[in-house]
């Protein structure tokens, strides 16, 4: 998923999508799950030179990615759609004034309980032995850039920097996630539950544990038959409920959470044993997967008095 926070930020994307040929390219790539340049040019009945220009625009704005694949006469460039969704925020400039942001390293969890298959790794090596949950307590785990487990949970403490006279209006959390299958399996559903301060916010079903192509940022030493990339999910909690990628997943709102400047804010990713699909969880950090980020958190806030006056008027 691509998350566009402002209209100005999304200008290149909007321009790239403002072409019938480029829309046709995206449709063909989605239908065929990727195509090489010659196949695309033939299908569209345009020259390779003209196609290259269109592909570059789509690649530059992050919609399409190009990977090399072996063919009978050497390597060919295969084009693939890099996204499953594009989410555009249409917030007022006033709403965006009071924000603080932070990014949590994958290994900076404050609590955990995990069951094999499981493991952690930095950008350069595995941490301890795979499928041994004891290594989730290893001192080096704070440097983890990827972690995975079949069931259980990891919980993160979100720093609360809310000024004393302010109230939280919205919490936004984004992370690259997938299932955790033995090996890899693109069709391996897993019900991933999200909790804030032990209140269940809702659930999203990951479709699979993706390993069909190498993740853009996944290091070269990583095993080809292991998790390669995930899907970027955007979780939003506000006064109207809880949403994932703009779709409401529950009616749990900020009012139910009773947060203020003194509150601990603990966010949990969980795969409960009681879930319909116990398919595990992989969390990708900055040096793995398709998105160059860890767990991003953004908190909007506003003066308490303004909210109170608005409610009373």
Spell out the alpha helix ranges (H) of 220-289. Answer: 254-257
Chosen CATH of 91-305 out of 3.40.50.2020, 2.60.120.260, 3.20.20.220, 3.50.30.40: 2.60.120.260
Tokens for 55?
């592909």
Q: So where are the chain's domains?
A: 2-81, 91-305
Is the pTM here over 0.75, yes or no? yes
Where residue 239 falls (left for φ over 0; alpha for ψ -120 to 50; beta otherwise) is: alpha
Tokens for 304?
């308490």
**What backbone phi and psi angles, to 5 degrees, belong to 54?**
-70, -45
Tokens for 199?
């209140």
Q: Do 2-81 and 91-305 share a fold?
A: no
Q: Report how far residue 170's alpha carbon sits from residue 97's, in angstroms, rounded to the nearest whole number.
A: 13
The pLDDT tens digits along the chain (313 residues) read: 787 877 888 899 999 999 999 999 999 999 998 899 999 999 999 999 999 999 999 999 989 988 877 665 567 788 988 777 888 877 656 556 789 999 999 999 999 999 999 999 999 999 999 999 999 999 999 999 999 999 999 999 999 999 999 999 999 999 999 999 988 999 999 999 999 999 999 999 999 999 988 898 999 999 989 999 999 999 999 999 999 999 999 999 999 999 999 999 999 999 999 999 999 999 999 999 999 999 999 999 999 875 444 444 4
Tokens for 21?
């040929």
Q: Which fold has domain 2-81?
A: Arc Repressor Mutant, subunit A (1.10.10)
């Amino acid at each position: 998923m691509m998350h566009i926070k402002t209209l100005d930020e999304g200008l290149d994307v909007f321009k790239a999508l403002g072409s019938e040929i480029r829309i046709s390219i995206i449709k063909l790539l989605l239908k065929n799950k990727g195509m090489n340049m010659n196949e695309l040019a033939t299908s569209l009945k345009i020259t390779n030179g003209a196609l290259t220009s269109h592909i570059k625009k789509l690649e530059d704005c992050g919609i399409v990615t190009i990977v090399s694949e072996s063919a009978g006469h050497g390597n060919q460039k295969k084009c693939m759609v890099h996204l499953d969704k594009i989410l555009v925020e249409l917030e007022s400039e006033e709403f965006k004034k009071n924000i603080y942001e932070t990014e949590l390293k994958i290994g900076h969890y404050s609590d955990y309980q995990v069951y094999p298959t499981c493991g952690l790794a930095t950008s350069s090596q595995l941490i301890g032995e795979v499928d041994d949950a004891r290594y989730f307590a290893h001192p080096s785990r704070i440097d983890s850039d990827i972690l995975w487990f079949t069931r259980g949970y990891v919980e993160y403490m979100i720093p609360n920097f809310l000024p004393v006279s302010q109230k939280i209006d919205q919490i936004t959390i984004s992370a690259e996630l997938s299932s955790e299958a033995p090996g890899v399996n693109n069709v391996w559903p897993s019900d991933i539950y999200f909790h804030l301060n032990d209140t269940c916010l809702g659930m999203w079903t990951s479709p699979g544990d993706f390993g069909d192509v190498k993740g853009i940022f996944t290091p070269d030493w990583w095993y080809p038959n292991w998790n390669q990339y995930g899907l970027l999910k955007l979780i939003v909690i506000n006064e109207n409920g809880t949403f994932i990628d703009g779709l409401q997943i529950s009616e749990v709102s900020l009012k139910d959470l009773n947060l203020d400047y003194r509150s601990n804010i603990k966010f949990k990713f969980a795969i409960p044993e009681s879930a319909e699909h116990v398919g595990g969880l992989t969390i990708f950090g900055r040096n793995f997967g398709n998105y160059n980020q860890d767990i991003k958190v953004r908190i909007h806030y506003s003066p308490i008095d303004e909210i109170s006056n608005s409610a009373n008027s």
